[in-house]
């Protein structure tokens, strides 16, 4: 039992799960799940009580039973007690103060990351203002490698997302070319296919590999199909760079995605055996998003932000090259408006970075949410200030296959110019060599006889 008194009224919270849910900033998904605070006063009382909870409590009181959930078992069994030692004496409130202190610099945050559980990260985020989330995330350094180096300070990468509603190879190639000529694609060239047909998935993989190899682009490709399809593709000798999968924070929710930890481990080993990386062996790519556990009725009464943080434990176990929250994709049932989406994006980024993940964000929304592109400009600017690893690049910010609004190639230009952010170093050198950018990293005017344009014309013929 946890309690706090506010305005001469005593508030009681039955267990840690209820306390975390009541302390969460207001969002539509928690109201839908009937776990949210009934008032702003109750929310503040929950935060006061939460601030006094020792971090060690999260190792003793599990939100989802150990015997019923393999994600819980992963969190408990992989906890690094040695890494936890420097902060083991802190309460959640003390932890917030420590994170904001000069003592918690980049090196120290990297040392303690393996000792922080997702529930600890979620708990402290509930006590933090937006500026706190930004400041601490900015101090976290997470670097990964496959064919280039991602996550270096002063760098921001872009996933080039050339989706097409009919999986037209020409249409995808045109969008891919467009993005490359805008300097996008250093995170990954990733396609969400409209079909799960294996022959089509093969063609997409071969096309991406052909372009990357033909022009010696220091990047990686990924066709974002189900992990079982990717395993079958690798068995058939198809050139697969990264293994993709959507993941969630409970075993039951992952079962809804048709996956478990053993399947992800099998796919990781298969990808590693291909030895396609030139600089590193981070071969996994994960996507997450608040609300996935609730949408599959697999949240166990845990608030959606804490469920999201638990998904990061799954990702951390497999050392991904990339992971991003698709923050506003599920819809207003889970994140109602711009205010909720902005807060969720900052929370996700903070928790992921604190846990040692190369967190990116699909700064996005669906057209039936109370949000617009100005809200997305705000979130993009805040996340980039906080050290975002990568964002999404979609032609015109409108994904014509997934039917949602994201960020565009031009948005990447804006944020690079505003904050002086550079591409991944190997990709930046390639852009200069291809005369797409000048020595300062500024875009050049593209001539009609540019090799990439000529290649596309050849594809069309």
What's the helix, strand, coil split of the chain in %, to 5?
A: 50, 15, 40
pLDDT per residue as tens, the chain (461 positions): 899 998 889 999 999 999 999 999 999 999 999 999 999 999 999 999 999 999 999 999 999 999 999 999 999 999 999 999 999 999 999 999 999 999 999 999 999 999 999 999 999 999 999 999 999 999 999 999 999 999 999 999 999 999 999 999 999 999 999 999 999 999 999 999 999 999 999 999 999 999 999 999 999 999 999 999 999 999 999 999 999 999 999 999 999 999 999 999 999 999 999 999 999 999 999 999 999 999 999 999 999 999 999 999 999 999 999 999 999 988 999 999 999 999 999 999 999 999 999 999 999 999 999 999 999 999 999 999 999 999 999 999 999 999 899 999 999 999 999 999 999 999 999 999 999 999 888 898 876 678 888 876 665 54
Phi, psi values for residue 78, rounded to 5° = -100, 0
Question: What is the structure's pLDDT at 456?
Answer: 66
Residue 447: the pLDDT is 66
Exposed / middle / buried, residue 7 (Cβ in 10 Å: 0-12, 13-18, 19+): exposed
CA–CA separation, 90 and 94 (whole Å): 5
Q: What is the DSSP string of 93-107?
A: HHHHHHHHSTTS-HH
The pLDDT of residue 458: 64
- What pLDDT does residue 457 have? 67
Q: Which residues share a beta bridge with 127? A: none
- 3-state SS class at 190: strand
How far apart (Å, rounded) are the C-alpha atoms in residues 187 and 159? 5
């Amino acid at each position: 039992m946890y309690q706090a008194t506010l305005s001469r009224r005593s508030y009681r919270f039955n267990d840690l799960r209820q306390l975390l849910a009541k302390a969460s900033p207001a969002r539509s998904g928690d109201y839908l799940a009937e776990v949210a605070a009934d008032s702003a006063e109750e929310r503040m009382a929950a935060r006061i009580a939460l601030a006094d909870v020792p971090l060690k409590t999260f190792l003793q009181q599990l939100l989802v039973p150990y015997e019923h959930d393999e994600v819980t078992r992963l969190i408990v069994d992989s906890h690094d007690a040695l890494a936890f030692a420097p902060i083991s004496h802190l309460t959640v409130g003390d932890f917030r103060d420590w994170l904001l202190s000069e003592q918690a610099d980049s090196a120290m945050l990297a040392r303690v990351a393996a000792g922080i559980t997702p529930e600890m990260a979620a708990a402290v985020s509930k006590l933090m203002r937006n500026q706190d989330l930004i400041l601490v995330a900015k101090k976290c350094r997470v670097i990964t490698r496959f064919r280039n180096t991602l996550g270096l300070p002063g760098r921001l990468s872009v996933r080039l997302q050339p989706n097409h509603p009919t999986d037209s190879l020409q249409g995808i190639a045109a969008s891919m070319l467009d993005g490359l000529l805008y300097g996008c694609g250093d995170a990954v060239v990733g396609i969400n296919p409209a079909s799960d047909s294996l022959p089509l998935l093969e063609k997409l993989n071969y096309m991406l590999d052909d372009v990357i190899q033909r022009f010696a682009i220091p990047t990686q490709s990924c066709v974002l199909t189900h992990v079982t399809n990717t395993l079958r593709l690798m068995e058939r000798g198809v050139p697969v760079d990264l293994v993709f999968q959507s993941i969630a924070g409970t075993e039951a929710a992952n079962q809804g995605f048709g996956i478990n930890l053993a399947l992800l481990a099998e796919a990781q080993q298969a990808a590693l055996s291909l030895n396609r990386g030139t600089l590193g062996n981070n071969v996994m790519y994960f996507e997450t998003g608040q609300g996935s556990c609730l949408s599959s009725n697999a949240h166990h009464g845990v608030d959606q932000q804490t469920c999201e943080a638990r998904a990061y434990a799954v990702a951390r176990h497999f050392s991904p090259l990339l992971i991003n929250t698709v923050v506003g994709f599920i819809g207003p049932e889970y994140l109602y408006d711009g205010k909720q989406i902005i807060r969720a994006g900052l929370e996700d980024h903070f928790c992921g970075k604190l846990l040692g993940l190369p967190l990116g964000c699909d700064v996005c929304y669906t057209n039936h949410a109370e949000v617009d592109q100005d809200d997305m400009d705000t979130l993009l600017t805040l996340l980039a200030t906080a050290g975002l690893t990568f964002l999404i690049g979609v032609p015109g910010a409108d994904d014509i296959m997934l039917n949602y609004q994201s960020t565009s190639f031009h948005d990447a230009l804006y944020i690079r110019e505003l904050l002086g952010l550079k591409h991944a170093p190997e990709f930046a050198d390639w852009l200069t060599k291809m005369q797409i950018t000048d020595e300062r990293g500024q875009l050049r005017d593209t001539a009609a006889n540019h090799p990439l344009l000529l290649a596309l014309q050849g594809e069309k013929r």
